[in-house]
Amino acid sequence: MDEHLETLRAVEHELTALLRRGRAVSWEVAREVHQNLEPNAYGLLLWLRRCDSIRLTDLAGRLGIGKGTLSRQIRALEELGLVRRTPDPTDRRASQLSLTEEGRQRFDAARAARMDHIRRVLESWPDRDVAEFGRLLGQFNDAWS
């Protein structure tokens, strides 16, 4: 049991280091998208870019945050001209969220810089290790939720 506990402690240590670096990178990337963008907003923009269009309630569920909190964050992104709401054609009470053209362009530019950094960090890794790393991170994230 002690060996398993030490392994879990090592995972916690590395995860903490990753999260600390992630927060710092989120500040940088957020500023690249827009000078007034909150760091947590990058994750919202990432989901919106991936989904193209999504209902607020569905996005809140995927992110594991309350609709009220998400609504405030989306409102701030709308004010910056990065996100728009359009009526949901299947439910008049709901709306669809998507990136504006400006939001898409700014996000894509910031993401390209971030991807270049990730590419440089992982360039010495064998392709199979990079694929396994991505698979394990996905498995971890799925289990966490």
Q: Indicate the average pLDDT of the chain.
A: 90
**DSSP letters for the chain:** -HHHHHHHHHHHHHHHHHHHHHHHHHHHHHHHH-TT--TTHHHHHHHHHHHSSEEHHHHHHHHT--HHHHHHHHHHHHHTTSEEEEEETTEEEEEEEEE-HHHHHHHHHHHHHHHHHHHHHHTTS-HHHHHHHHHHHHHHHHHH-
- pLDDT-derived band at 35, boundaries 50, 70, 90: confident
Residues 74-133: tens digit of each pLDDT: 999 999 999 999 988 888 888 899 999 999 999 999 999 889 989 999 999 999 999 999
What's the average model confidence in pLDDT over 4-16?
Answer: 93
Q: Which CATH class is domain 2-144?
A: mainly alpha
The band of 1, judged by pLDDT with boundaries at 50, 70 and 90, is low
Q: What is the pLDDT of residue 145?
A: 67
pLDDT at 37: 86
Confidence of residue 30 (pLDDT cuts 50, 70, 90): confident
Q: How is the chain split into domains, by residue range?
A: 2-144
Q: What Rg, from alpha-carbon coordinates, does the chain have?
A: 18
- Determine the average pLDDT of the residues in 36-43: 84
- pTM of the predicted model over 0.85: no
